[in-house]
Amino acid sequence: MSTSTIEKTVHKGNASGGGLARRQNFLTGLVGGIIFAWLFWWIARLVGDQSSRSFSDLTATSVTLGWLFGFWLGIGALNGPFRWLIGRDQTREDQLYYAGENLGVSRYWKFTTDHKVVGVQYIVMTMVLLGAGGILAMAIRTNLITPGNHFVNQQVYNSFISMHGMLMILGMIVAVAGPWANFVVPIMVGARDMAFPRLNALSLWTLVAAAALLLTTLAVGGLPVGWVILAPITNQAGVGMDFFAMAIVVFTVSTTVAGVNTLATVVKMRTKGMTFTRLPIFVWGSIIAAALGLYAFPYFLLAEVLQLMDRNFQTSFYVASGGGTGWLQANLFWMMGHPEVYVILLPAVGAIFEIAAVMSRKPVFSYKTAVGGMVALAGLSILVWAHHMFTTGWAPTLGGPFMLTTELISIPTGIFFLVLIATMWRGNVWFRLPTLWVYGFIFDFVIGGVTGIYLSDIPIDNQFHGTMFVTAHFHYVFAGSVLFGAVAALAFWYPKVTGRFLNETMGRISFGLTFIGIQVTFISMFLSGLKGMPRRYSSYSMLFEHTNFITTIGGYTIMAGMLVLLAAVITSWKHGEASGPNPWHANSLEWMVPTPVPLENFDVLPVITEDPYNFAEKVDH
Amino acid sequence: MSQSENKKSLVGFYWTWGILTVVGVVIGLWAPGRFMPASMSGNMHLSILTIQVFTVCAAPVAAGIYAATLHNIRHDRWRGEGVPPAAEAVRGNTTLVSAWLIASSVLTVFLLVWGLGALAVDNSSTGKNPLVVDVTGQQWLWTFHYAGTDVNTTQLVLPENREVQFRITSDDVTHGFWIAQMAVQVDANAGVFTEIHTTPDKLGTFDIRCTQFCGLNHSSMVTTGEVVSPQNFQKWLTSQPATI
């Protein structure tokens, strides 16, 4: 690993030296979190009014706050600001320590500021979230394999569907942007790190804190309310609801911090000559999603803060008997919820464009149209939220306008297909692992997109809303498209992270199983929906027997595919075929730096003279 | 044929496009009737018709994308050793982009015009002597009150060919009132009434299923109702015990 000359002169090799702060890691974070959670619990019980009907909610909310602060303190997230406060700001030596220099593998367990470490941590977090969501999916599908099966008890089943939804959504939000906006975007734009390295670590570990709260929900009474956590049924849930609401508040902090960081990095830290039209297209996908996330997630935060106030302080934002309405919650949720679809989708689309161009040895077709399409989609996405509420009875006269904005989304979505196919058309398409997942993305996204058109139409939505048709539609978008984009990105950039290829054979087996599994699972789920099976049912009429059985078999197939992928990721990390620094012979900057990437990425910051898609004059490294 | 000649021949692409379009259209026209519940109202006819129209519009687009992708996989796949050489750099094509934008906009506008028209028809009411039914959802049961009578029942019986107005509310959490054969759906919210209307046009039983997650026994909140002739409806209504 090479280090810059500045580091060599300043750094005196002291990884062993210096106080308690240097012993902090995930474990001390965990201990700190638990101690503070207990402390806050104890205080809440001491000062709280035990006769109040909010007593248990207040206690639970205190515990979650204690957990967050304790975890932050324990892992060292607050060291930097604290040192600054007492007038002893961190030295460069400290900063290099926190960047993980010479810490080896242990840096992955610490509050490490190096964007590449954070990227790897995000890969692991994505796999944890999607893995947990996947296990719940398997439990749900097993329960639904026959009409009256009770593999899990009904209350637990109801918690599982909510938790499956939330874990998968959170996992999808970070699946592409988390690992790759952190690992490769700073290098792609020619920066030595993210604009705010400490905030970068903060976003990751805050996500860990949020995920812990979310998973704890299952242990404290669960979340038997459905994943859209619609009020007023939330008022019937126990303290699991408080844990969940706080998990979302904490998660929003994490995404906001991450989004600001990505945007600031790309806007302010591009190297000389890296104009906006020379940015690799994945960077565009990342920053548009980051900006959209900054708009969208505060609604979710607000929705859950109001929820917490209703529960803890007896306000009645969502309580009809107190003058509130569940429609307020539904509006806030979907004002977040629809833009969030594109926060999830756009980084995947950007990655797919990037991979398609490199693998077919052609520039991205009509780069500006592609960027324009992404911007248009992001813009439209904030105007369509009420199509999730066509059948709620809220504002029927707005049905027409929301139908209009929703159907307009077809146009920018169509641009994506044009750009993607025209990019690969008459290219010399290199059939490696990432390419397969790109084709899988195209196949599934057509189905996900076309079925969305039906749902945008109110007379049809009156029939399909709340049925398995909707479930199948958005699973084609998320599991079929975004997941495929995420795996394509993983296969594409894995060599940059590890210096090794993701095992091609296992990757292909995984692709085959997952691709077939997705079609079997969700086409049969469409049929369940057409036949009239509502969502979120734990048992169902004999009418839906066959299609559900097929769906469950398909679900198991997806699981098999994902397990093979997991095995490939783990085994290739140490034993994969060596790849060299630029295995795909691409031109963007992340491939120009050595692998493993040095701590500060570049010895000398490069100067850019053209976009990275000129493969004809490519210089091999 | 050499690879470069192969790349230029689009005959296969057009054939695939055509065949896939036909397949899509056939499936789109056939599947609703095969899989969806038998229609018992104008709203349901309209939904099915709209699904078919949209499928006919979407089929050529989806088929075109699939045909192009298949063509790409077949003809543009690099079969040589090692890293493929650079392909001819095409950085844009104003005609193609414009044509694509215009075509997708025209299609979208058509879907929109159709959709808004269908919505107007869907919402239209004859206004003539409608039967008003107050529907109340509670965990996990629907009750129906026939306006102007003292009849409160858990069984929904409707007369054929007479407009029914449902006024829907909830005693507790939000429920979703949906008649699977009539394509009408709206939530039951505590504290407010929501309204839908439809005209049953076929005798027989229909399914009411809750479409909004409502707690422990959400999946048991299903019941059937029946459309009967107007004479039988009057008989049934008068035979019901009056309840408060």
Instruction: Say if residue B139 is in the same domain as residue B171.
Output: yes
Is A462 within 8 Å of B73 when comparing Cβ atoms?
Answer: no
Q: Which residue in B21, B69, B220 has the most chain A C-beta atoms within 10 A of its own C-beta, making it the best mutation to test that interface? A: B69
Q: Give residue B155's domain range.
A: 131-239
Instruction: Say if residue B141 is in the same domain as residue B176.
Output: yes
| Inside any domain, residue B173 | yes
Q: Are strands B204-210 and B194-198 parallel, antiparallel or unpaired?
A: unpaired
Instruction: Say if residue B35 is in the same domain as residue B138.
Output: no
Integer Cα distance of A235 and A40 in angstroms: 23
Instruction: Say if residue B105 is in the same domain as residue B8.
Output: yes
The per-residue b/e assignment along B34-53, b for 16 or more CB within 10 angstroms, e otherwise, is: eebbebbbbbbebbbbbbbb
The per-residue b/e assignment along A275-311, b for 16 or more CB within 10 angstroms, e otherwise, is: eeebbbbbbbbbbbbbbbbbbbbbbbbbbbbbbbebb
Instruction: Say if residue B145 is in the same domain as residue B65.
Output: no
Look at residue A331 and give its three-state secondary structure: helix
Q: Are strands B222-228 and B204-210 parallel, antiparallel or unpaired?
A: antiparallel
In one letter, which amino acid is A289? A
Task: Read off the pLDDT band of A12 (50, 70, 90).
Answer: very low
Q: Which residues of B touch A226 (CB under 8 A)?
A: 213
Burial class (CB in 10 A: 0-12, 13-18, 19+), B204: middle
Instruction: Say if residue B209 is in the same domain as residue B231.
Output: yes
Positive or negative, the Cα torsion across A223, A226, A227, A230?
A: negative
Q: What is the DSSP string of A215-235?
A: HHGGGTT--TTTTTT-TTGGG
Token output for A155: 């209350």
Residue B165, beta-bridge partner list: B132, B197
Helix or strand holding residue B170 (H, E):
strand B164-170
Residue A501 confidence (pLDDT): 97
Of B62, B83, B173, the CB nearest to A233: B173
In total, how many domains does chain B have? 2
Instruction: Say if residue B14 is in the same domain as residue B115.
Output: yes
Cα-flanking dihedrals φ and ψ of residue A365, to 5°? -70, 130
| Contacts for A189 with CB less than 8 Å, ≥ 6 apart | A265, A266, A269, A270, A271, A274, A279, A283, A589
Cα-flanking dihedrals φ and ψ of residue B190, to 5°? -65, 135
Nearest CA-CA distance, residue A358 and chain B, Å? 9
User: Is A399's Cβ below 8 Å from some Cβ in B?
Assistant: yes
Distances (CA, A) of A70 to A53, A200, A210, A259, B88: 27, 19, 13, 24, 58
From the list B184, B132, B207, the residue with the least C-alpha distance to B162 is B132
User: Is A397's Cβ below 8 Å from some Cβ in B?
Assistant: no
Task: Read off the pLDDT band of A3 (50, 70, 90).
Answer: very low
Token output for B212: 């909004």
Integer Cα distance of B130 and B158 in angstroms: 11
What is the tens place of the pLDDT at every residue in A273-298? Answer: 999 999 999 999 999 999 999 999 99
In one letter, which amino acid is A619? V
Is B86 within 8 Å of A408 when comparing Cβ atoms?
Answer: no
Q: Where in chain A is the domain with CATH 1.20.210.10?
A: 116-591
What is the tens place of the pLDDT at every residue in A150-207? Answer: 899 999 999 999 999 999 999 999 999 999 999 999 999 999 999 999 999 999 999 9
In which residue are the tokens 């599947």 written?
B31
Task: Read off the pLDDT band of A11 (50, 70, 90).
Answer: very low
Of B62, B78, B192, the CB nearest to A429: B78
Token output for B48: 């099915």
Integer Cα distance of A58 and A42 in angstroms: 12
Q: Radius of gyration (Cα) for chain A, nearest Å?
A: 24
Mean pLDDT of chain A: 93
User: Is A407's Cβ below 8 Å from some Cβ in B?
Assistant: yes
Look at residue A351 and give its three-state secondary structure: helix
Token output for B63: 């088929």
Instruction: Say if residue B66 is in the same domain as residue B150.
Output: no
Is B187 within 8 Å of A361 when comparing Cβ atoms?
Answer: no
| Inside any domain, residue B90 | no
Instruction: Say if residue B194 is in the same domain as residue B217.
Output: yes
The per-residue b/e assignment along B80-113, b for 16 or more CB within 10 angstroms, e otherwise, is: eeebbebbeebebeeeebeebbeebeebbeebbe
Contact A294, A214 (CB under 8 A): no
Helix or strand holding residue A129 (H, E):
helix A115-143
Q: Which residues of A touch B175 (CB under 8 A)?
A: none
What is the tens place of the pLDDT at every residue in A91-139? Answer: 888 889 999 888 889 999 999 999 999 999 999 999 999 999 999 999 9
Instruction: Say if residue B107 is in the same domain as residue B9.
Output: yes
Residue B13: CB atoms within 10 A of its CB come to: 17
Nearest CA-CA distance, residue A272 and chain B, Å? 23
Q: Radius of gyration (Cα) for chain B, nearest Å?
A: 26
User: Is A392's Cβ below 8 Å from some Cβ in B?
Assistant: yes
Integer Cα distance of B43 and A106 in angstroms: 63
Integer Cα distance of A559 and A476 in angstroms: 16
pLDDT (tens, 9 = 90+) of chain B, 244 residues, equals 445 555 568 999 999 999 999 999 999 999 999 999 999 999 999 999 999 999 999 999 999 999 999 999 999 999 988 899 999 999 999 999 999 999 999 999 999 999 999 999 998 887 788 999 999 999 999 999 999 999 999 999 999 999 999 999 999 999 999 999 999 999 999 999 999 999 999 999 999 999 999 999 999 999 999 999 999 999 999 998 877 6
pLDDT at A13 over 50: no
Is A236 within 8 Å of B215 when comparing Cβ atoms?
Answer: yes
Give the class (CATH, top level) of A116-591.
mainly alpha
Is A430 within 8 Å of B215 when comparing Cβ atoms?
Answer: no
Can you list the alpha helix ranges (DSSP code H) found in A532-605? 545-575
* Chain centroid offset of residue A107 CA: 23
Task: Read off the pLDDT band of A15 (50, 70, 90).
Answer: very low
Is B89 within 8 Å of A457 when comparing Cβ atoms?
Answer: no
Q: Which residue in B81, B107, B181, B185 has the most chain A C-beta atoms within 10 A of its own C-beta, making it the best mutation to test that interface? A: B185
In one letter, which amino acid is A397? T
In one letter, which amino acid is A530? L
Q: Which residues of B touch A154 (CB under 8 A)?
A: 216-217
Instruction: Say if residue B114 is in the same domain as residue B11.
Output: yes
Q: Which residues of A touch B119 (CB under 8 A)?
A: 399-400, 403, 457-459
Q: What is the DSSP string of B106-119?
A: HHHHHHHHHHHHHH
Integer Cα distance of A46 and A279 in angstroms: 57
Residue A48 confidence (pLDDT): 85
Task: Read off the pLDDT band of A63 (50, 70, 90).
Answer: very high
What is the tens place of the pLDDT at every residue in A461-516? Answer: 999 999 999 999 999 999 999 999 999 999 999 999 999 999 999 999 999 999 99
Helix or strand holding residue A460 (H, E):
helix A458-464
Residue A21 confidence (pLDDT): 80
**What is the pTM (predicted TM-score) of this model?**
0.94
Q: Which residue in A462, A464, A611 has the most chain B C-beta atoms within 10 A of its own C-beta, making it the best mutation to test that interface? A: A462
| Inside any domain, residue B8 | yes
Instruction: Say if residue B147 is in the same domain as residue B211.
Output: yes
| Inside any domain, residue B199 | yes
User: Is A606's Cβ below 8 Å from some Cβ in B?
Assistant: no
Residue A150 confidence (pLDDT): 84
Is A425 within 8 Å of B207 when comparing Cβ atoms?
Answer: no
pLDDT at A324 over 70: yes
User: Is A523's Cβ below 8 Å from some Cβ in B?
Assistant: no
Long-range pairs of A576-583 with CB within 8 A, sequence gap ≥ 24: A576/A498, A576/A500, A576/A501, A576/A502, A576/A503, A577/A500, A577/A501, A577/A503, A577/A504, A578/A499, A578/A500, A578/A501, A579/A495, A579/A499, A579/A500, A579/A501, A580/A495, A580/A499, A581/A496, A581/A621, A582/A620, A582/A621, A583/A495, A583/A501
User: Is A277's Cβ below 8 Å from some Cβ in B?
Assistant: no
pLDDT at A519 over 50: yes
Token output for A47: 């000062």
Q: Which residues of B touch A232 (CB under 8 A)?
A: 172-174, 190
Q: Are strands B222-228 and B156-159 parallel, antiparallel or unpaired?
A: parallel
From the list A281, A192, A190, the residue with the least C-alpha distance to A612 is A281
Distances (CA, A) of B239 to A517, B161, B235: 54, 21, 6
